[in-house]
Chain A
Amino acid sequence: MPGRVVKVKRKEKLGVLERLYVPMIVQGLAVTAGHFFRNLRGFITGKNRKDFVVQYPDERIDYPEAFRGMPVLVQLDNGQPRCVACGLCEFACPTDCISIVPGELEGARIERYPEAFDIDMSRCMFCGLCEEACPEEAIVMSREIEISTYDRASMIFEKEQLLVPESLLKRRLDFLRGEYDRAHAAADKRD
């Protein structure tokens, strides 16, 4: 429920009631009390609430499509990350919070895979440059932000904690593909 702007036309000259002062004070108090009782009833019955507050643990606003939360790895149906450990995100990261140890699978169709993939969330600034650099759509920004912890060590997320099934990331992936399509179309038009 976003706020709305109300344009108020103020009188140039004060009337009798304004000059008497007390009736206007009472009117102001009545407005305040009206808001109070309406929202009190709204909280009790759950209807006709007109206040502005997001009651966070119970309700939350929907973020825009382009919202960037913490970066996660896309997990394929076979449980493996889509990542091929090319190291481009590691290179693109402005805060050096990604560290990858590449491994090799003998005889598989895609031989490279990340042996370890750590992201230090305490340094990450959710800029999305890793996502932009990734040629495989393997690291994307999720909508997850509540990652506060009691100690510093548990802010380092390892590969297993970062893996998220592709189906849960559909919204972001669709958004990204739309953005890339738009960018390509614009580039084609330019040429």
Chain B
Amino acid sequence: MDRTQPRRPRHVVEPTSVQQQRVGGLSKRAVEFLRQGGDSFLATRADAVMNWSRKYSMFLYPFVTACCGMEFMSVAGPRYDLDRFGCALPRFSPRQADLLMVVGTITHRQAPILKKVYDQMAEPKWVMAFGACTCSGGPYNNYATVQGIDTIIPVDIYVPGCPPRPEAVMDGLMKLQARIQAEKVPADGRHKETADLHLPVIEKPIA
């Protein structure tokens, strides 16, 4: 075994050549065909309609591992009703879910499971990092904790807080909806850079 190379965690999987050729679940040729319209009225309106319908009907998969789960219950419950954002139906099968809410600390032991759940979700899919532990590891800067789930799976919206207030989660959800509206249909891959999406500028809050 070559000891000079840093050890790669087992759950990081290199994309195969077949996966690289496919964009957003479609073959490159299909994407090129769909993109032929370019900026034509039909193509842009189709994007807008698709995104509009997607952003208001997210089925979420709550990947709840820790104490943030209490706050997730609070935000999904009747007081702060996530249903008002069209995002209330928890699907406990990743095959049926659009939004992966990673709620709570992800340990290295848990990481392969999270990766598997993410891979099992069908496109289009989005990921919300809920709480400080998923954003960066939070207070647990140690050998056992994944330092941010974006080291394993791509994250679309980070909601920091320990745990975040329901208002913060709903604010994050609305920002995620803005992000979905800015996406192209079919999306060119989950790993698109945030800078290319022309997202609304988030102003840093003034207390």
How far in angstroms is the closest Cβ of chain A from B83?
9
> A164 contacts the other chain (Cβ, under 8 Å)?
yes
> B137 contacts the other chain (Cβ, under 8 Å)?
yes
> B146 contacts the other chain (Cβ, under 8 Å)?
no
A113 to B122, CA, bound (A): 52
How far in angstroms is the closest Cβ of chain B from A29?
20
A55 to B81, CA, bound (A): 8
With contacts A122-B148, A152-B158, A164-B206 taken as known, whether A145 is within 8 angstroms of B167 at the C-beta atoms is yes
With contacts A52-B79, A53-B81, A145-B164 taken as known, whether A168 is within 8 angstroms of B148 at the C-beta atoms is no
A154 to B179, CA, bound (A): 16
> B38 contacts the other chain (Cβ, under 8 Å)?
no
Residues of A close to B174: CB separation below 8 A: 57
Q: Which residue of chain A is the closest to B78 with respect to CB atoms?
A: A52
> A31 contacts the other chain (Cβ, under 8 Å)?
no
Interface residues on A, range: 35 or more
Interchain residue pairs A-B with the least CB separation, the first 4 = A142-B207, A125-B162, A148-B172, A122-B136
> A85 contacts the other chain (Cβ, under 8 Å)?
no
Residues of B close to A144: CB separation below 8 A: 205-207
B207 & A69 in contact (Cβ 8 Å cutoff):
yes
> B170 contacts the other chain (Cβ, under 8 Å)?
yes
> A22 contacts the other chain (Cβ, under 8 Å)?
no
| Choice from A53, A95, A142, A150 contacting B84 with Cβ under 8 Å | A53
